[in-house]
Structure formats: C-alpha cells, structure tokens
Amino acid sequence: MGVPVQGAAWELFHQVLEAVRHCTSCGVLHMDIKPENILLDLATGQAKSISFGCGTYLQDTAYTHFAGTLSYRPLEWTHFGWYYGKPATIWSLGILLHQMVCREHPFRRGQNISWDQQLSLPQRLSQECQDLIRWCLSMYSLEWPSLEDLFCDPWMQDIHLP
C-alpha cells in the first residue's frame, strides 16, 4: 500500500518549505515555485528546488516586474501591477499545495481571479489541509501567513506518514 496523497504531499511540501526558507535566508527569491521546478529523487524521497532562471534578490520594497509562470503570478500583480516577494511566495506555495493534494491547479489557466471567488476543496482533504490552502490563497494578502507561520500550522505539525 502506498503513502496516502496527503502524507506524500506533507513530506514534499515540508521539503519545499525548507528550501524556500533557505533561499530567503540567503536573500534569494525563487519567483517560479511550481511542480515542474521540484526535482524528486524517487530512491531517497529527497526534493530539490530547481530552475532559478526567474529568481531575483529578495527586497523589502514592491516588485514592479513579474517573471515566472503566469498561472502562478501573485494576486497583487494581477490586480495592481506590483507585489511583495515574501507574500507572493506564500501565494505560489498555496497553489503548489493545492496541486499536490487535489492534482490540479486551483485557478484555471487564463481565468481572472476575483476578490469574491470562493475556493472549493474536496471533502476528502483533512480540515487542517483545507484551512492551510485557504489561508495561503486568501483573496486578501494581509491575511496570508508568513513562511514561519506555515511551519507552525497545525497541518504541518501533524505527521502524515503511514
């Protein structure tokens, strides 16, 4: 019997969070976090963040240029033409987690995300997992968690391995 989807997602997501924390602590913003940019060694289960071609230096001021995959673009960029690096990373991580556990992108390619849009999640997901995804993909960036908040989230604290 294989590892349940949420258990495998938990392990992989935890490794991605560690990689993002390492990069930001070194002043680097990946800018293109998505499944295609995670290399997984199937023999060891170790994940590596790859493809830093869109990466940049982390700054405290707003970014006014976006380089990366359009379907992962930060919500503020879509609506205002600017965004902040760390919150934009949280948005991308929310999309990534959604893809890991739901096996699809939460927002259809080319679809405009509206401020009143409700995110529908499958009932098979634990309430903690649903809450974490909704927190990262809230339509209000002031509500988004920090990277450290993600590590402390109840879903991330629970061990999801068989």
Of the residues 32, 60, 149, 153, which is catalytic?
32
- Domains of the chain by residue range: 5-153
Grade residue 1 by pLDDT with cuts at 50, 70 and 90.
very low
In the residue annotation, 131 being an active-site residue is answered as no
Give CA–CA dist 4/136, Å, rounded: 22
Q: Which residues pair with 38 in a beta bridge?
A: 49
Residue 114: closest CA among 68, 70, 75:
75
Give CA–CA dist 156/102, Å, rounded: 17
Tens-digit pLDDT profile for residues 90-149: 999 999 999 999 998 888 655 556 555 567 889 999 999 999 999 999 988 888 999 999
Name the pTM for this structure. Answer: 0.89
Tens-digit pLDDT profile for residues 30-70: 999 999 999 999 999 999 999 999 999 999 999 999 989 98
Give CA–CA dist 66/83, Å, rounded: 9
Q: Distance between alpha carbon 88 and the CA centroid of its chain, in Å?
A: 9
Superfamily grouping for domain 5-153: Transferase(Phosphotransferase) domain 1 (1.10.510.10)
